[in-house]
Amino acid sequence: MVGLTSNNLMNLSMAERFDKFREKGFGSVMIWLGPDAKESADERATLAERAGLFIENFHLSCDHLNEMWIDCKEGDERISRFKDEIAAASKHGVKTVVCHLTHGDFPPFVSTIGTNRIEDLVKFAENANVKLAFENVITKDHVTYVLENFKSPYVGLCYDVGHDHYWRVQDWLGLFGDRVFALHLHDNFADKDSHFIPFDGSIDWQYTLPRLAKTSYRGTTTLETKDAAYVYDASPDKYLEHALSVGNYIDKFLESNR
């Protein structure tokens, strides 16, 4: 099954987006919980369900991430909002959420208060029966620390192919390929985080796809591409058709090579 992030066709309402995804043949969706829409996490999930889309995961909101590692009330509030979003996922039977741990090139160092907050978050997720997939981003220290020190079956990696190609900080799949809970598939030219459709950038997919097939991931093939990327000048329908065609190719490759 092929899915797409909800961060597409932003000129349409959330309900219209999901209906369009389903109309064009997508079977699942990754629901982004950023401030791009008025609907709550619960409302977004309900709209996806009404459209007949399987919800592969929630992508938790990404504001005030660095405050998690600092002794401040904003750090506590950040964890509290994560918990609210995880609770919404649990309510809708969504088994995985994607989480960023930091923002920017120079986040605060890994800290005791930060790791204590993550421990609290992990326990909450375990009780909610929701897996935490921590995403590889610009810096490696925080995600690596959490994956190495929290061995819970509810703690794993969200492997973002485009991020790995752009930032190239370490061999994420070599280290944590057996703990991949989520995939973000998109492309770029290693000059910015462009979120192109795979094969429209410079990622070596002939090398990458066999490695993806050997990971532990068994969820839907999720494209985190964006129609607003400058390379696309086709209509929304043509963009979705192209994305689905590529997604189907990748999905079949992964299924055939596991």
The closest of 60, 76, 65 to 130, measured between CA atoms, is 60
For residue 214, which amino acid is it? Answer: K
What is the average per-residue pLDDT within 194-204? Answer: 97
Instruction: Please report, for the domain that includes residue 66, its CATH number.
Output: 3.20.20.150
Residues 6 or more apart in contact with residue 46 via CB below 8 angstroms = 92
What is the average per-residue pLDDT within 153-163? Answer: 99
Rounded distance between C-alpha atoms, residue 151 and residue 145, angstroms: 11
Three-state secondary structure call for residue 114: helix
Q: What is the mean pLDDT of the chain?
A: 97
**Structural domain boundaries, residue 228:** 2-256
Neighbour tally for 26: CB within 10 Å = 25
pLDDT tens sequence across 98-146: 999 999 999 999 999 999 999 999 999 999 999 999 999 999 999 999 9
Q: Confidence band (pLDDT; 50, 70, 90) for 228? A: confident
> For residue 178, what pLDDT is reported?
99
The pTM of the full predicted model, rounded to 2 decimals, is 0.97
> For residue 230, what pLDDT is reported?
60
- 208: pLDDT strictly greater than 90: yes
The tally of domains found in the chain comes to 1
- 231: pLDDT strictly greater than 90: no
